Each structure stands twice: as structure tokens, then as C-alpha cells.
Structure 1
């Protein structure tokens, strides 16, 4: 019996443990921190061995294979010891993909991947396909593979999940864009992060498809540097393409072989240039999977968007409150500020991953009237923006931030939570941050 050791007892770790046990592995889960009660219950009920708040070397270094949860960096001591012993360290995506023959649509990118994955899942379900949405969103891929009910998987994939793949091969790969993010995990080398994103296509063959944003400067520069065997389908605003998707002032046009899908941009459910790209990506996948054009059109027009991504919460005294907690980097916040037209009170801050806040200066000067810092260390934010606005205040709780925003707001203004940072200093994760924002807005 092969021994599968899992580092990290969260969603991907416990999903992998269940799948591993079902496939005949001897399974052991080890977490350096505490394992949440709901996951502990699953491990106990399924008689899977586990430990928390420590890594016992004797129980880990005897593994045949190790699944490392995406949150654990490769540089930690235990992972380095595994590498030295030559024990394979893979991701949950790699492990789970070996146990399914379903069609896989893998979606990655610095921004837009959640919206694109959710929108793609929506249009394919509306088209009558048997689809499961998993990966970096919702349930783990491993748990979904264990159910063995789907014929198609739409997987949202982070760079950390792609780092641990060896043979994982999506039939359709989507790369929404690449901008600097998570550089603390890539030795502050942008090219390492870029390579991680492009690895989504490394095992694809001529029978597969690679959909990518051809207007993204990083992708445009690097697309020739990686060997891409899959059929390339660009998404672009800049020129007509024979195959792929492009947009003019009025329409988006998707062309696959001799088949053309056209839809008016004004009929798309989500506004903003970045969402037009997300719609083009989802429509291209739908076209490849032969969804009826009428169904694609209806799905592109009726999609509700994603929680914590430019989510309109409430209007109070004619002030619009928007939850964009999922904006954990500069580029995502750039989109958010670009999409609001009103005078804006901006709630920003958290764990900074080496942000270049200067890129936001033109938009902040144009649209932002007050800044509320919500983080333990706000020095960089103050340094860059203190001359832009009259009001720049620091807070340590969401309740305080929302109440301050309420007092600063005038009719017609927007209050925008778009932190441009990770959330781990004051919150469990970006969802917790977003829900706290919404709860406090509703309590005003």
C-alpha cells in the first residue's frame, strides 16, 4: 500500500485525503497550524490519521508521495527535506486529475479567474452540460473527483496550485492576464510567477486549446518564449482574428473554425473592459463545447457576478456601498476604481505583497475623495496617497471603517472596499473581510 502524506488540513488537504483513501492509499494528514473543526470531523469520521500544530518528521519522510496544500511555500524546511529525499511533492490538482477522464477546463490569471470560471460554469450548465466548478473556488477538485458525477470540470487555478503539477493537462486552458502578484512566493522574480501561470498549458497537445488575453503586455511578450502545442485562441480588442475572440466598439465576436458568435457589448451582464474580456473567454469555451448561440447570448446577459467582486451591497442616503474584497492586488483595485464614476471613499489596506501603489495615482486623483486605511501597517499607502486627498484615516476594524465611510459620504458618492492587499492581518480571508463589510453596512 502506497503512503500518501498530506501537508495542510484545509479544503484541498481533506479532499485529497478522502480521495486517497478511496483509491487505496495509506493516508496521513499533518498541519503545522490548527485544523478547523469541520475538517477534523471529516478526518475522524473517515478514520484518517492526522496531527495538528506540528510536523512529525518520522511520519512524513516515509511517504511515497506528498500532497502539499497551495498555501504552504516550497521554501519551508519540511518541504525542502522532502525534496532532498527525492519524495514527489505534488498539488491536489495533480493528484486528483489522475483519477478522472472528464473534460477539464482550467482557468488561471492574476485577475478575473473567479469571474471567468463562474461565468463559464454558468453558461455550460445553461447549455445542459453536466459540469462541476471546483479548484480555487468552492469544493476541492479532489472531493469533486471522488463524487465522480461530472462530465466536465471548470477549475479555477491559482499559481500555487499550478506549481505542483507534473502531468495535469486541461483540454481547454484559459489565461485571463498576468500582472505582478504573490511575488513574495517567487523570490521576487516576476519571470518565476509568469512561468507558473504558463504551466497551465505545458502538458497540452495539438488536440487542446489555449485561450489567452493577447492584449496583456506580459502575455504578449512571453507567449513565444514557452513551447505551446495547443491551438492558440487569442482574446483581443486590438484587431480582428481568424480564430479566437475580438471586440469592436459595438460587439464581441467569437470565431471557432467557420462558426461565428456575435453579441452586443451593451447586452453583457457585467460592465467594464475587464468583464468584456471575461465574457469573451467564457463565450469562447462555450463555442468550443458547441453550446447553442442563443444559450450563450442569454447566459452572457443574465449572469449575476461573483460575491466579493465589485458586488453592490446597498444604497444608503443615495450612497452606493460596493464590496470588492476579492481585490487582493493593485491590478484588481485598478479595475474597481476604473469602473466607478462617482466620487469615491476608498477602503484600502491589509498585507501588502510588494505593491506599487503609484500605478493607482491617476485614478485616485480623479475619483477618490477620502481614503480609509484598514490594515496593521499602512505606511506605504500613506506615503503614496497622503497628498492626493484631504481625508486619510487609519482604522483597525471593519466596523470603524464602515462608520467612518458613512460619516464622510454625501449623496451620490460611492464607498468602495477594494483593499489591493491580502487580508490575513485582521481577517481570516478575503471572504471574511467582505462579509464583515456587508454586515456592517447593513447595520448602519
Structure 2
């Protein structure tokens, strides 16, 4: 496998830039650039020179011997001064050795996967960690990257393998009396694992919201103050406000970090009956997005109208708007009264939803868990039918194990690697 290199930090002017070299020739490339390398696992300050001896920079050089590195290969990292000129000159010097080529996007992490220093779920966790924008996203990504999914999947795997082994033991006694009835233990193992999988499936849907963002739809009649509230939340004029009913025709979105959670607030068209063809489309879109949102905030107009009340669900929020006019308790986008309290309520409700998150975080994880659940249902049904073919139940259990193995990349890896690594930057 060829030796690769890339800038591992953001390209452009910076205090420090890190160039990573990985592969069998990494040490030789390093020696041609800096002379004597520090011992593996150590670091040292070295002069970096071109092929003809020109001083390019002073660098802190870190050396890792495989498999004790991120990629599992021999690795040399150069911590350089982060000017464009220094980076370009050092990259050129590496190319001139003829021993290394530029890395492709995600190639370092792909090698870590191939060399078993990371499993597939950890690779996905690393991708999410790099993309994390809020504290909740960071924590969720870190659980995955730290091997949380591998740990829980090993428990499921071991329980199902034991259940399959117990069933297969009865096959060995096909012509004899089975010494112990294994069915109760098998049922208990299947039931326990299935319950755990169902909890994880539910948690994966919440995890997707933590990663992609919760949606909160602001509903109400025309001129109820929806656009003004959105502008207040955004801290800038993102929506046009006027006294003319029907000003907002489409859904306007603002993404914020609310108590560590990514939240997108949706300003929807005023909900009313209208003959205006364009406004009708806006009202229809507003209702569609409101139904799909994680939470709805219904603004009650000063006259008491609650347009959109039919869309409100149990945990949604009703709040009086324009209280500077009505004197009621609620919010005012003129004075700011009550808005902080409203956002606290929104944050608390979404935080409660986020507590249900599990270790599985993607649609791929959820589909694998659902396949495993389906196989367990078939195994249990066949077992309960008192069939004289226990090997069929055992085979369904083996299929469930295979589905769980796909979570961390033991099987079915190649089909999804392209999609996963397409999200990585060069240098990672």
C-alpha cells in the first residue's frame, strides 16, 4: 500500500499547520526532510530542508510506529508554521522524494478502518465529531467514536450466539432425550435482546434530530407576530414584517444553538382561508412543515384567535402574543417580555426528547437494528410453534447476529464505505 501525505489542519494562514505522512515509507520520507528522526513515540524539533538542502522551516516532528498510530501504519507528523508558502514548499519537498502521494479525502481514516484501529461505527462517530456544532452533537458523536455502539452490540451478539448455541445443542441430541429444556433460556435471551434493540431504534430517531437539528414551527394567524418572533430569536431581520396580512408566503428558517441543542425555528405563513393562489401554497406548506416539526409554538393573537390550533399536539406550547397591546401574560416582540421564558420552555421540552438518545445515531444503524429485530421475531415465532426443526430458529438467530455485525463493519462494509468517506476532508 502506497505512502500518503496531506495537510491535516485547515488550509490557509494559521499559527500551526500539521502535515501527516502515513505508510511503509513514512520514516524514510521523514528522514529525507529532517535528517535523524526522533524515536517512535517521541517528538523533537528539527530543521525541514528541501531536496537541494534549502531550509524550509523549523518543525516539531512526531513519530509513531505501526500499529501504534491513528492509521495503524508508520506515521510522521510535521508541526509547521502555518503560512501558505511553508505548507506548499514542504508538500513539494515530500513529492520530490518520490516515496509518497497526496492522500484522498478520508484516506487516513479509511486506513484506520482497514487496519482495525477503528471500527465502522467509530469512523462514523469521527465524521460526526468533525461536523459537530453544538455541545449535544459533540457528546453524541463522542459516544459513538469512543466505541459505545461496539460495546452494546457485543452484548447483543454474545447473548444471541449463546441462544443459537443452546438451540443447536438440541440438534446434537436429535436421536436422544435432551438433558435440559433450553427453550426458557433461549426465549429470555431473545426477549431481552429484542427489547434492548427496540429502545435503541427509538433512540436512533432522536439521535438523528440531535445531529441534523430539531425543528420548531411557529404557528398562528396572520399578523400574530410570528415573523417578529423569528427575527428576535435570530437577532437580525431575517423575515419581512408588516401589518399587511399574508406577507409571509413561504417557510423561513433560522438555525440556532439552544442550550447546546441544534434547533431550527420555522416562521410559517399565517394560517387562514384565502383566495390568493400563492398564499394558499404558503398555508399548505406551513401546515405540512408544522405537522412534521418536533415542536409547535402557537401564538395566540390579541383578539384571542388561535389559527392552527388543530395542528397543536400534547407537548406543544400555546402563548399569547403582542402582550404590549393586550396586557395578558405571554410574549412581546416590542419589549422582549416573555421571550427568554418561552425559549427556556422550548429548550426544556427538546432536552427531554434528547435524553432518549441511544448509541445508534444514523439511518444505517437503525436499519441494521430493524433487520436484527425482524430475525428475532421469526426465531421466536418458530420456537413458539414447537417445531421439530430447531435449526430454522438457530438460522434466524445467526442472521440477527449478522445484521448486528454490520453495525461495526464485520460484514457488508464495502457497499457503504463510499458514502461514509465522501463526508471526510482530505487530511482526515
Q: Which has a greater percent of helix?
A: 2
Higher RCO (C-alpha 8 Å, min separation 6)? 2
* TM-score normalised by L of structure 2: 0.22
* TM-score normalised by L of structure 1: 0.21
Q: Which has a greater percent of strand?
A: 1
The structure with the largest alpha-carbon Rg is 2
